[in-house]
Amino acid sequence: MMKSPRRIKHRLDQGIASSTGCVIPSCGRPTMAAAGKGLAAFHCRKHVEHKARHGSHWHGTYSAAELKPYLAAATSYLRPRINADKFISAALASIEGTLEAAGPTEIATRLKGMPASKRAKIALARLRVGGIKPERFVAIVLAVTALIEEDPGSHRTKEFRRVQIAKALHRLASGYHRVWELPDDRGRLRKVSELHAFPRSSGPVLRLIGKAVEQPCEWVVDKHLASVLNLKVKRYGRHPALPPKA
Ligand SMILES: [Zn+2]
């Protein structure tokens, strides 16, 4: 049955009326669209910015401590299977190829105005130069996916997962220190030190990094996630938000 134009208009009006306030419970701020400051029809500026940084309008970035037991379990699980499991071998080879193809690293000042895709490649190249091995990338994908799977309060979306993978890689590389030599305006070489692999990573860069690292691991996640999660629970117990026993 066709809906009458009047009913459709009524529904549209209702939709517009109900979207003037941010949909995050107890937020109360006007949506960006209602405030005339953007296209976001359902969320306020604060929650839009939260999503850009964390990959979710409401869920924050997991801490290193929260991720730790999952990362430990994923690392031990992978170690004896690196050459023995075809899905793991294929993911490692693919990530190695992605890191090689990421090209040269660049100094932070040259990143200005670069497209997100180029900045994502540079971030991956920095992880390669920093000596981060493909095994670590696969372990992080498994760990983040397992944590999101087990945590009953998590936000189970592809976007949140990818941003959290990129954030975990970022944290891993944040202790990475390198001194670059850069000519100044008189042509003399000056030392510039750099502490972060991903200086001022923007939202789109984080999503591209997460995607580039997660995609080669799809089969590994499909075949091994349940076993990694079992190992984590056996060793470190269930997620703190769950009752101790099922
Ligand atoms: Zn809000």
Residue 1's pLDDT is what? 44
CA of 56 to the centre of ligand 1 (A): 12
Tell me: pLDDT of 145 over 90.
yes
- The tokens for 65 are 């401590």
Cα separation of 132 and 95, whole Å? 11
The stretch 91-103 carries a mean pLDDT of 95
Sequence ranges of the domains in the chain? 5-54, 64-236
CA of 25 to the centre of ligand 1 (A): 8
What band does 104 get if pLDDT is binned at 50, 70 and 90?
A: confident
CA of 223 to the centre of ligand 1 (A): 38
CA of 54 to the centre of ligand 1 (A): 14
Cα separation of 198 and 220, whole Å? 26
CB-CB contact of 43 with 144 (8 Å): no
Positive or negative CA dihedral for 83, 170, 129, 120?
positive
The stretch 34-62 carries a mean pLDDT of 92
The stretch 213-222 carries a mean pLDDT of 98
Helix (H, G, I), strand (E, B) or coil at 181: strand
Tell me: pLDDT of 62 over 50.
yes
CA of 48 to the centre of ligand 1 (A): 8
CA of 46 to the centre of ligand 1 (A): 6
Question: What mean pLDDT, rounded, does the chain reach?
Answer: 85
